[in-house]
Amino acid sequence: MSFTKRVAVIVSLFIAAPGIARADLFTDWNAVAYDLMRMANVDGAPAARALAIMHVSQADAVNTIQNRHTRYAYQGKLQPHASSEAAAASAARNVLLALFPVQRPRIEEVYAGNLRALPDGPMKMAGEAVGAEAAAAVIANRADDKTTVPDIYRPVTTAGVWIPTTPPITAQYAQAKPWGFDRSDKFRPGPPPPLTSAEYGRDYNETKTLGEREVPSERQSKRKRSNSGRSQISAWLGIKPPGNWPRRDGWNLPSVQGCLPC
């Protein structure tokens, strides 16, 4: 047998292996999910949540069979002889049915097409069961994620009292249960210092000084840093800087299109 034929046989066997889930199956369900959300007028953060639930369910289902990565919510017994494709399809189907029950005909149509492409038998049945269980586990995990609490964010405050800046939609997601770590503010920076603190006074005076129109020593220092930065860029790119590169003082910026002060 020639080398080309041997490679073709190996690839064919790999694609046909029941434990391997095709990438096309996942992208197909992504397209279905986007269509369903468009029809349900779901977008923004709620759409991202729906996709995350579906994707994590599929990942938990497939890893229950392949055991390659840590599972998130589903901790059922490993099923190495189940069909990964059936599990991924079943997980997507059950999540979307739970989130968009009105769209059941469309969901079932796609799911039936997935199953028709797989050989009947215990492997397919086991995969379907794994997918359903993984979907149920992830949905239960997100049931109390606080994404449906009332939006009480109001950008109203007084001088010196800081409030977080957030888009004017789904502000409650800032307090939602995150994926992969325990609380939403774990890595969030704290508020600025109080107006009466020494730290605030120091920063205010520094900003005021730097913002003055005529501070020769500071302007000279900034210009040196700016020139140094342009020289480094030129060295990296292997080019000689042109004479009309933008300067920190901004006087020749109009001659440079689409470039901010260096």
Residue 192 half-sphere exposure toward CB, CA atoms < 13 A = 15
> What is the per-residue DSSP string for 217-249?
HHHHHHHHHHHHHHHHHHHHHT-PPPTTPPPTT
- Is the separation of the CB atoms in 255 and 229 below 8 Å? no
pLDDT in tens, 56-112: 999 999 999 999 999 999 999 999 999 999 999 999 999 999 999 999 999 999 999
Please tell me the distance from the alpha carbon of residue 250 to that of residue 223, in angstroms, as a whole number.
Answer: 11
Tell me whether residue 49 is exposed, middle or buried, using C-beta atoms within 10 angstroms of its C-beta: 0 to 12, 13 to 18, 19 or more: buried
pLDDT in tens, 28-39: 999 999 999 999
Domains of the chain in start order, with CATH, are: 15-141 (1.20.144.10), 198-246 (no CATH)
pLDDT in tens, 248-259: 444 333 333 333
CA nearest neighbour of 127 among 17, 18, 15, 12 = 18
Please tell me the distance from the alpha carbon of residue 95 to that of residue 17, in angstroms, as a whole number.
Answer: 26
Please tell me the distance from the alpha carbon of residue 173 to that of residue 147, in angstroms, as a whole number.
Answer: 6
- Burial per residue of 173-184, b for 16 or more beta-carbon CB atoms within 10 angstroms, e otherwise: bebbeeeeeeee
pLDDT band (50, 70, 90) for residue 165: confident
What pLDDT was estimated at residue 210? 81
Question: Is the pLDDT at 12 greater than 60, yes or no?
Answer: no
Using DSSP's 3-state secondary structure scheme, residue 48 falls into helix
Q: Between residues 36 and 235, which one has the greater pLDDT?
A: 36
Please tell me the distance from the alpha carbon of residue 250 to that of residue 125, in angstroms, as a whole number.
Answer: 69
